[in-house]
Amino acid sequence: MISILDIATNNIKNPMFKLEHYFDIYDKYFSKYRNTPVRILEIGVCDGGSLDLWREYFGDTAIIYGMDINPSVKRFNTQNTRIIIADQQDREYLEELFTDEPPFDIILDDGGHMPDQQKNSFEALFPLLHKDGVYIVEDIQTSYWKSFNGGLRKSNTFIEFSKQLIDYINVDHFREEDNLLLYLPLKTALQTQLTSVNYYDGMVVFTKGNKIRKDGIHYYGNGITKKESISLYN
C-alpha cells in the first residue's frame, strides 16, 4: 500500500503546506481507517491539496468535509467531498451546523491557528467526534508567536488550554474537592470520553473512547488476580 508521504509527493494535483514529520503522525492515528467509509472533517481547505491527500489515502468510500471561511474553496466540492463555508471561531454556529450529521471519526484543525479559533472549534466539535475518534490540532507552534496572540506560558493560548485537559484523563483519581478546579466547558464529555492527549512538534492529538472507572488496585501474581482493598482515592 502506498505510503502517505508518497501520496503527498506524487499523487495530489493541488498544493499544500505541511511539516514533513506530520505524515508519520497522521499514519499512526489514521491508518486503521484506510479503505473504510471514514468520516473526516478538516478545518482549513486553502489550495485543496490536503483534500486530495485524504481522498487518495482513505479511498473512494471516505466521506470528507472541508471547512473554510473563504468562499472560493467551494470549487473543491464533489459528491463525497463536501465544502462548508463557516467561521471556525463561531462556536454556536459550529454546534448547530452538524446537529443532524453522524459523528466524525477524524477532526483535523488546520484553520486560522489563532487561540480563540482553536479553542472554540474544539469545544464545539469534540462532542461530535465518534466514541473512538481522533481530534488533531496542528501548527500549535503559533501558541508561541506574538503575531498569533501567543507567547511562552501565555494563558490564552491553545497549548496552555490543552494542558488543562490532561487532568481529565486522571479524573478518577481526584479528591471530591479537586473536581471544582476543572475546566468547566465540556466537563462531562471530557471526564467520560477523553482517553489521551498526545503532544508532538507542532501538533496535539486527542483521542476519544469510553472510559471505565479505575476502581482500586488489583493484585497480579502466583496464578491469581484479585482486587485489593487499598483505595486509590484517599
Residues with catalytic roles: 113
Chain centre to alpha carbon of residue 76:
23
> How far is the C-alpha of 18 from the C-alpha of 5, rounded, in Å?
11
In whole angstroms, give the CA distance from residue 104 to residue 81: 14
How much helix, strand and coil, in percent to the nearest 5, is found in the chain? 40, 25, 40
State how far the Cα of 57 lies from the Cα of 31, in Å rounded to an integer.
Answer: 9
Q: What are φ and ψ of residue 207, in 5° steps?
A: -115, 150
d(CA 119, CA 161): 8
Cell of 208: 476519544
Amino acid identity of residue 196, one-letter, is: S
CA atoms within 13 A on the CB side of 111: 30
User: Using CA atoms, how far apart are residues 181 and 168, in angstroms rounded to an integer?
Assistant: 11
The cell numbers describing 229, all together, are 482493598
Residue 90: what are its φ and ψ, rounded to 5°? -85, 85
